[in-house]
Amino acid sequence: MAGGLQLSAAIADARLMRRARGRGAIFTLHHVRPHVARAFEPNRHLEVTPEFLSVAIRQLASDGYEFVPLADVAERLAMPAARPFAAFTLDDAYRNNAEHALPVFAAHGVPFTVFVAQGFAERTHSLWWETLALILGRAREISFDFGAGVETLSLRSVLEKLSGFERFVPFVTCGPDEAAAIARIDALARQHGIDPLALTAELTMAPDDLRALAAHPLASLGAHTVSHRAISRLPPQEARLEIQQSAGYLEDLTGKRPVAIAYPYGTSQAICARDQTAAAELGLTVGVTTRPGTLQAEDLNRLTALPRISLNGYFQRARYVSALASGIPFRLGR
Ligand SMILES: [Zn+2]
């Protein structure tokens, strides 16, 4: 990816960008906070600094982008002669979105949508990738049964901790029962003196915080399911309930019915046509994935499965933002 981005930055500099970039782009963020360097940062890609967010916005503005709310994407896609547009989204509703991202968006007058998982807001569900980062960061070894009997993993070096983390990713995302896998990680956390739901409360916004954020004229809230599992792998009725309940939750909380959903993980394995149809039937007119790409006119035909561009903690340079928005890296990758 880094090589592709360097090359894309060069191509973007060669002013081929305008032709390749399509009509616009939706950007994905997670944490926005000052970076505290640690040796073991398995979730580093999910974090950018407020300064970089500001740089990214300035770069897009100087590249000619107009900033629009996510709810306006359909209308903008249908306007071929308009300036290219950019919409900002933030997944999981971390506290730092209000603390550090909101002031940057407000300073630039940029609208944004925060996707809320009901189970995080209500402190009934944990963020397994955050729980694991904490367990593996602290422990020198753990014992865990990934399905072939209890194993002991040594976690004495950063490399061992990273490879430990990599063992858990398929355990959660490819196993037969994601809720059971997360419950096992929560139990492991408790064995190591970590309360996974206290971590949820520390990291993500509570109902009052969300209500306050939703009152800001630049902010919108969007649905992100209840349990934050890959809904494509759930039975149809359960998947539908995840969408329906989380949208209803935000409506009850803020008095505004959300128009958008971000599917947890957002990969082609984590969502399917069934869920896109369910979202549309439940009145959600915009659905966003993590499939990388810019927006083209044909995306009008798949408004509940739009691609997004992740602003990644490893690539915090203005020229990378231009390169990503150009759409060229995604074409090179094909
Ligand atoms: Zn998420």
Kindly state whether residues 191 and 218 are assigned to the same domain. Answer: no
Kindly state whether residues 136 and 226 are assigned to the same domain. Answer: no
Phi, psi of 291 (to 5 degrees): -60, 120
Kindly state whether residues 51 and 75 are assigned to the same domain. Answer: yes
pLDDT attached to residue 1: 46
> Model-level pTM?
0.92
Query: Can you tell me whether residue 64 is helix, strand or coil?
Result: coil
Kindly state whether residues 8 and 61 are assigned to the same domain. Answer: yes
Kindly state whether residues 220 and 321 are assigned to the same domain. Answer: yes
Domain boundary among 177, 198, 219: 198
pLDDT attached to residue 269: 85
From ligand 1's centre to the CA of 30, what distance in Å? 8
From ligand 1's centre to the CA of 92, what distance in Å? 5
Kindly state whether residues 21 and 114 are assigned to the same domain. Answer: yes
Kindly state whether residues 166 and 300 are assigned to the same domain. Answer: no
pLDDT attached to residue 5: 63
pLDDT attached to residue 318: 80
From ligand 1's centre to the CA of 309, what distance in Å? 14
Kindly state whether residues 19 and 95 are assigned to the same domain. Answer: yes
Kindly state whether residues 217 and 298 are assigned to the same domain. Answer: yes
pLDDT attached to residue 193: 98
- Structural domain count, the chain: 2
The list of the chain residues with pLDDT below 70 reads 1-20, 331-334
From ligand 1's centre to the CA of 14, what distance in Å? 35
pLDDT attached to residue 334: 39
From ligand 1's centre to the CA of 214, what distance in Å? 18
pLDDT attached to residue 333: 45
Residue 9 to residue 332: CA distance in whole angstroms: 12
Kindly state whether residues 30 and 112 are assigned to the same domain. Answer: yes
Domain boundary among 142, 168, 198: 198
From ligand 1's centre to the CA of 11, what distance in Å? 32
Kindly state whether residues 238 and 282 are assigned to the same domain. Answer: yes
CA 251 to chain CA mean position, Å = 21
279: domain range?
2-123+204-332
Residue 91 to residue 97: CA distance in whole angstroms: 9
pLDDT attached to residue 313: 76
From ligand 1's centre to the CA of 153, what distance in Å? 27
Long-range contacts formed by 120-123: CB under 8 A, 24+ apart: 120/92, 120/93, 120/200, 120/204, 120/228, 121/93, 121/204, 121/205, 121/206, 121/207, 121/210, 121/249, 122/207, 123/197, 123/200, 123/201, 123/206
From ligand 1's centre to the CA of 224, what distance in Å? 7
Kindly state whether residues 138 and 103 are assigned to the same domain. Answer: no
Alpha-carbon Rg for the chain in angstroms: 20
Domain boundary among 169, 198, 227: 198
